[in-house]
Amino acid sequence: MLLRKVEERIEKYLVFLDDRKYKTIGYPAFMAVETEDTYRKVPDNLEWKSIDLPYQYGREWVTFWFKTIFQLPESAEGAQVFFEAHPHSDSLVFIDGEPVGALNMHHEKIRLTGSGEAGREYKIHIESYGGHKYPGCHPFEKEKIFLAIKDSIPEYPNTFSASRLCIKDEDAYTLFYDVNALYKLAMTLDETSLRRNRILRHLYENLMKIHLTAQDGQITDQIKEALKGIKPLLSCINGSTVPLIQAVGHAHIDHAWLWTKSETVRKAARTFSNMCRYLEEFPEFIFLQSQPCQLELIAEEYPSIYKRILEAFERGQWEPNGAMWVEADCNIPSGESLIRQFLIGKKSSRKLINYEGDTLWLPDVFGYSAALPQIMEKCEVDYFVTSKINWNDTTRFPYDTFLWKGIDGTGIKTTYLHVSYNGVVEPERLSKTWNAVQHKEIQDNVLMAVGEGDGGGGTHRSDLEMARRLSDLEGCPRVKWSKISDGLKAVFSNPEDLPIWQGELYLELHRGTYTSQGRLKRYNRKLEFALQELEALAVMTLYPGKNGVTGEYPGESLEEAWKILLTNQFHDIIPGSSIRKVNQEAEEEYRDLEKKLALLKEKILGFYIKERDSESEEPGFLICNTLSWERRSRVSLPIELKDGEQYALLNGKTIYPVQKDISLDGNPLYRSFPEAPALGGRHVFLKRIPEPPAVPFSLENRTLKTPFYLIELDTLGRISSIKDKNTYKEYVSPGSSLNTLFSAEDVPVRWDAWDIDEDYRLKLEQEERLLDWSVVSIGPCFIKIRSRFSIGHHSELFQDMILYSHQKRIDFETQVDWQESHRLLKASFPLNIHSSTVKCEIQYGHVTRNTTRNQPSDRAQFEICAHKWVSLEEGSYGAALLNDCKYGYDVNDNTINLTLLKSSKAPDPEADKGRHEFTYSFLPFNDGFSSESVIRPAYDLNQSLSLSKAAPGEDSDMEFSLIQGNNPSVIIENIKEAEDGDGIIVRIYEAMGAEQETVLTFAREILWVKETNMLERSGTPLSFTGKNLPLRFHRFEIKTLKLVLR
């Protein structure tokens, strides 16, 4: 009979054996120094002081270095020797000047040698991060000192508690892991199971051979005896129908989050150096490293670690598979940004390690756009792996291994990691992982990521030892180390059986990440458009004008700019879920990039501009349009004009009036709305005109008449009625007003910066404190009405409502001095349009979502992500809400609400405080949803015409258009130089979700053209005639064309 307390007795023996795994052979003496500088190697210019352990230390954002020099004693001869230290912080260890491993709460020892040599001297340096204060991640957490993930202290000082030299007791070490594996297996089995009871009986009987109070020599012999006794338990293997857990060694390293990007470089160094040592010690182990950006940083900053990575890769143990440059957010970035994540990520990986990933590895991203499957396939990515959808707060996603089809119908093999992406190799976790699989009839194996993550760290020694014992142990799922590429081939070995999911993978959580850190999101949108504009302008210079001169494409500068933008699209930076210092550094990088791109644009435009006379009475300007249709849009003249005089921009006989304006900052502006050809430019010049043009606007007693609308304004300046002049359709829901501002307390239960909880609606308040209201500009081009509101508790909002004479779009240009905490701000548009669905723009197309709350999954989508527009339609009538930098919407029945600001307190206590600028626009239509009615106007809002000074005079006839198309539903998103420098790339897509045909007409004859994938490979030659290229598209298809013009 078994002792009633047999489990507790075995656990006591485990504690005993754990203490005996390593034998102390010495206590090193240390010196220390602190520095505010960051070194990538051992510093040789600092003044060290001797210290005693335990040693108290620590200061925000400071690095502490510890140094010890010792010789191995006689007792180390021939033994495995380990260095153990407890600085209680993420630390990188250098041995004899080389970075070799890491110390933290999960990694307390560094193996110095597999066979010690008495007298061998070691010089060890420990670089320990001093930590920093942070307010936690959830509302009302107390401030603490962050040292590492799951490791913080309430206040300084920190303590370096102890260090020792030790040698491994091979038998005690082996017995500990043998017993640990068997005992933990037994605890997962049913109490009536024969296997469980046999394990407990034999463990108990053999461990009792060890007398805990005996002399060391006797205990050593007793341990050997116990090892022999339990060996048969480890030789029992599974039958033929036991599932396989494919263990993927990994360390999820957030490129910035609760630490800065500079600290991430050190986190990567610590993780990669540790993993390299384990790969040498455990030849069966394979490690997945998923972000080329981090590998590139290690190659630059820690070349010796990079060299060991290359060696591990050559042995087949290092898998640099992840495909994207960083593990990017997939809600906020543009379609072209997502493509560049793959293009630049794969290019970097080829250069660094001669490898390309076949898997998009995104375990921790907050939802996945339905545009991704097509982008993945055309970037030669076969598989998608995540775990985040398992975090849903309302419904359980019905599949975990399936074929994910995007908006165009492309399917990608997709699987979820179960339980967590920070896994451990233990029987309970292996069983939970397999038990979580929903459709076991179609798969007999599953992936499991193994390793400490978020802040790096990687796989533990215990995981490696346990995996050896659990590889095929009766009662436990089998486990083996695997590359994800190989593992996924096995998971998807029967693809014909896969269930299918069509559409987006919406995460029912972290809905606030569509809005948090609004300034970062604004910079991201503006810089995405700026980069694509520069690429298009630069391509235009490659084809000579009348003088036969060609420009030079600034490829290296543009790629470096893209890398900065892509890095900040990491899934804790652009979503707005990082600490304050990360956000400040991102804003600074964005500002610097904005300045660099402005200088680069000036240089590119200089190609077109002749010598100019800034004093001319009739100065000339070059208007450039980098969108793929001819359009009329706003420009601001970079000169000051005389009051009382009337001016216009002229091109031939076409006159574009100039209207004086006043910015929200109070500065005078001179606006005009000229036309420019598709992907081209046109010269105009400024001229006085004798008569003022007619003003097509009138405003009397809050009744506003424009060329398109009859509008009534309420007492707060909001639109209480708007009727189309042609159809007299009323667009405002009865008793409501468009552009009603609401604010609400926003204190989520958890995840302050990440979440919006639905019960915020119980605390919605209308913002009705109007301070000022006036017309600031009225003329031939537009009328601008300015309002100033007091909002929230301490904030002010300034807003210009602008209605135009040439287009139906109504803009709301907005500035907010936002000084709120835990508060949301929304703009509401209740419409006289009823639809059960709403179209929402995503990358390269749109998705249709329900406006009803019939199903739990509908109710879960109380906040949704969209890009430049959403649109409600009822028959041929409809209305769209556009924006220039916002992403969070909620659409309920007939009301569109745009989320403008969110002000969390954690992990950034000053989140979103300060000045914000943004524009959103209301756009009714009565001729059905189309590219012309919604999609093109949204592009126009986001990408203004480019204006630069050029040669003066009426005789200038410069006009050019690189490409023109004849189908408005087909949009050229981007043109750039080909990666190999041979020709240009045209990225073009179908925007309406239907089969389309178009003919592209180029400025020059086509020499050759082929359709490639998005990596610009696998080209299929296309038929053309002269300058004309006919194309056919299926729904939402993205084509990449590579061509050379004469």
Q: What is the pLDDT of residues 712-739, one digit of tens each?
A: 999 999 999 999 999 999 999 999 999 9
Rg (CA), the chain: 33
CB 970 within 8 A of CB 996: yes
Mean pLDDT across the stretch 564-581? 98
Cβ neighbors of 731 (< 8 A, separation 6 or more) are 722, 723, 724, 738, 831, 832, 833, 877, 879, 924
Task: Report the percentage of the chain scoring pLDDT > 90.
Answer: 93
Q: What share of the chain is helix, strand, coil (3-state, %, to 5)?
A: 25, 35, 40
- Residue 341: Cβ-neighbour burial (10 angstroms; 0-12, 13-18, 19+): buried
Q: Cis ω on the peptide bond leading into residue 1030 (within 30° of 0)? A: no
pLDDT tens-digit map of 446-477:
999 999 999 999 999 999 999 999 999 999 99
pLDDT tens-digit map of 214-270:
998 999 999 999 999 999 999 999 999 999 999 999 999 999 999 999 999 999 999
The enclosing H or E element of 261 equals helix 261-281
**Range(s) of the domain holding residue 205:** 6-20+170-234
In a domain, 495, yes or no: no
User: Is the pLDDT assigned to residue 35 strictly greater than 90?
Assistant: yes
In a domain, 410, yes or no: no
Mean pLDDT across the stretch 693-708? 97
Which of 962, 805, 955, 991 lies closest to 408, judged by CA? 991
Mean pLDDT across the stretch 147-161? 94
Which of 581, 615, 485 lies closest to 132, judged by CA? 581
- The C-alpha atoms of residue 90 and residue 108 are separated, in whole angstroms, by 11
The distance in angstroms from the start CA to the end CA of the chain is 92
Which of 401, 404, 421 lies closest to 412, judged by CA? 404
- The C-alpha atoms of residue 397 and residue 395 are separated, in whole angstroms, by 6
Are 715 and 686 in the same domain? no
Question: Residue 610: its pLDDT value, please?
Answer: 57
Minimum mean pLDDT range among 214-218, 518-522, 697-701, 978-982: 214-218
pLDDT tens-digit map of 297-337:
999 999 999 999 999 999 999 999 999 999 999 999 999 99
Instruction: Kindly state the tokens that stand for 227.
Output: 């090892």
Overall number of domains in the chain:
5
Which of 841, 1028, 1016 lies closest to 929, judged by CA? 841
Q: Report angle CA 566, 572, 573 to the nearest 5 degrees.
A: 50
- The C-alpha atoms of residue 80 and residue 169 are separated, in whole angstroms, by 9
Are 728 and 874 in the same domain? yes
In a domain, 969, yes or no: yes
**What letter represents residue 582's amino acid?**
V
Are 818 and 895 in the same domain? yes
Question: Residue 549: its pLDDT value, please?
Answer: 64
Are 683 and 704 in the same domain? no
CB 524 within 8 A of CB 569: yes
Which of 359, 371, 381, 382 lies closest to 405, judged by CA? 371
In a domain, 578, yes or no: yes
Are 689 and 600 in the same domain? no
- The C-alpha atoms of residue 384 and residue 484 are separated, in whole angstroms, by 10
Are 922 and 986 in the same domain? no
Query: Where residue 973 sits, what CATH number does that domain have?
Result: 2.60.40
User: Is the pLDDT assigned to residue 369 strictly greater than 90?
Assistant: yes
User: Is the pLDDT assigned to residue 424 strictly greater than 80?
Assistant: yes
Are 779 and 670 in the same domain? no
Which of 116, 43, 47, 55 lies closest to 85, judged by CA? 55
pLDDT tens-digit map of 644-686:
899 999 998 899 999 999 999 999 999 999 999 999 999 999 9
Each as own residue / partner, the long-range contacts of residues 232-236 (CB below 8 Å, 24 or more positions apart, any chain) are 232/202, 233/182, 233/198, 233/199, 233/202, 233/203, 234/178, 234/181, 234/182, 234/469, 234/473, 236/195, 236/473, 236/474
Question: Residue 206: its pLDDT value, please?
Answer: 97
In a domain, 866, yes or no: yes
Question: Residue 954: its pLDDT value, please?
Answer: 46
User: Is the pLDDT assigned to residue 547 strictly greater than 60?
Assistant: no
Are 714 and 838 in the same domain? yes
Question: Residue 612: its pLDDT value, please?
Answer: 47
Q: Cis ω on the peptide bond leading into residue 283 (within 30° of 0)? A: no
Question: Residue 4: its pLDDT value, please?
Answer: 80
User: Is the pLDDT assigned to residue 611 strictly greater than 90?
Assistant: no
What does the DSSP 8-state code read for residue 934? I
CB 412 within 8 A of CB 384: yes
CB 119 within 8 A of CB 51: no
In a domain, 730, yes or no: yes
- The C-alpha atoms of residue 523 and residue 654 are separated, in whole angstroms, by 35
pLDDT tens-digit map of 95-136:
999 999 999 988 999 999 999 999 999 999 999 999 999 999
- The C-alpha atoms of residue 573 and residue 1021 are separated, in whole angstroms, by 41
Q: How many CB atoms lie within 10 A of CB 544?
A: 11
Question: Residue 956: its pLDDT value, please?
Answer: 54
Max CA-CA distance within the chain?
112
Mean pLDDT rounded to a whole number for the chain: 96
- The C-alpha atoms of residue 430 and residue 434 are separated, in whole angstroms, by 6
Are 638 and 666 in the same domain? yes
User: Is the pLDDT assigned to residue 548 strictly greater than 60?
Assistant: no
Are 704 and 824 in the same domain? yes
User: Is the pLDDT assigned to residue 969 strictly greater than 70?
Assistant: yes
- The C-alpha atoms of residue 253 and residue 266 are separated, in whole angstroms, by 11
Mean pLDDT across the stretch 838-860? 97
User: Is the pLDDT assigned to residue 153 strictly greater than 60?
Assistant: yes
**What letter represents residue 118's amino acid?**
A
Are 718 and 819 in the same domain? yes
In a domain, 227, yes or no: yes
In a domain, 655, yes or no: yes
- The C-alpha atoms of residue 904 and residue 746 are separated, in whole angstroms, by 8
Q: Of 910, 942, 974, which residue constitutes the final position of a domain?
A: 942
CB 411 within 8 A of CB 374: no
User: Is the pLDDT assigned to residue 615 strictly greater than 60?
Assistant: no
According to the 3-state scheme, what is the secondary structure of 151-220? EEECCCCEEECCEEEEEECHHHHHHHHHHHHHHHHHHHCCCCCHHHHHHHHHHHHHHCCCCCCCCHHHHH
Instruction: Kindly state the tokens that stand for 600.
Output: 């680069």
Query: Where residue 773 sits, what CATH number does that domain have?
Result: 2.70.98.30
- The C-alpha atoms of residue 410 and residue 374 are separated, in whole angstroms, by 5
Q: Of 607, 630, 651, which residue constitutes the final position of a domain?
A: 607
- The C-alpha atoms of residue 629 and residue 993 are separated, in whole angstroms, by 19
CB 69 within 8 A of CB 94: no
Are 935 and 1005 in the same domain? no
In this prediction the pTM is 0.97
CB 984 within 8 A of CB 542: yes
Instruction: Kindly state the tokens that stand for 479.
Output: 């486990």
SS3 753: coil
Mean pLDDT across the stretch 954-970? 85
Q: Of 607, 634, 665, which residue constitutes the final position of a domain?
A: 607
Cβ neighbors of 916 (< 8 A, separation 6 or more) are 518, 519, 522, 814, 815, 816, 818, 900, 901
Query: Where residue 536 sits, what CATH number does that domain have?
Result: 1.20.1270.50
CB 833 within 8 A of CB 878: yes
Question: Residue 613: its pLDDT value, please?
Answer: 47
